[in-house]
Amino acid sequence: MKKYFKYFLYLYVFIGYSLSNAGSYGDFFSALHFDRPEVVQELLARGFDPNTPNEKGVPGLMVAIQSESPKSALLLAKHPKTKVEFANSLGETPLMLAAINNQLEVAEVLIQRGADVNRQGWTPLHYAATRGHRDMMRLLLAHDAYVDSESANGTTPLMMAAYSGTPLAVKLLLEEGADPTLANDGNATALDLALHMDHEQSAFYIRAFTESWYIQNPIKE
């Protein structure tokens, strides 16, 4: 009888633990979706793992950023047990997603905690330039983001800004020293992409800086 009693006691504890965790799991991702940092904080205080993935395998930090839940994302980014440097199935990192979603405070914390600003391939600067988030771009450049970083097909942040039609982002990158003469694997320059998309203001800036660039970097015969 004593043996069976211990068995049922263990079973009761196991079931209770499982149900508790299941409830915490649902509460965690619901809180991330609706940006309720107080719920997230309570769960973390009870020992819930901040790196827990959702049913699609996406960790909590990325879920918060993609759900545009800046308060919860910032809380997770600051938590000492949260992993800040990893990539999803598309090769995107939390910093890249923070950059494209313009979550400046989250990006600052991620960088402070060691998130890679200059990763191979697509970078956070590419992502920020795509949407024309200039404050984000300035933050990344202030932390030594390489202004002419190239993706696998040779695309630079300047090319992304030119293609996307964000002329002030184009101007910022050019002012920061981006090379307007570079071409991608399709032999297209930033000017080619701007003209292809009829982004005349971006094309104007690129032409002006290209002329200046050649004056400062004359072709040696």
Tens of pLDDT along 132-148?
A: 999 999 999 999 999 99
Question: For residue 221, what pLDDT is reported?
Answer: 58
Q: Which residues pair with 125 in a beta bridge?
A: none
How much is the pTM?
Answer: 0.86
Q: What is the rounded CA–CA span in Å between residue 15 and residue 124?
A: 44
Q: Is it the case that residue 104 has pLDDT exceeding 50?
A: yes
**Residue 198 pLDDT level (bands cut at 50, 70, 90):** very high
Tens of pLDDT along 200-221?
A: 999 999 999 998 877 777 766 5
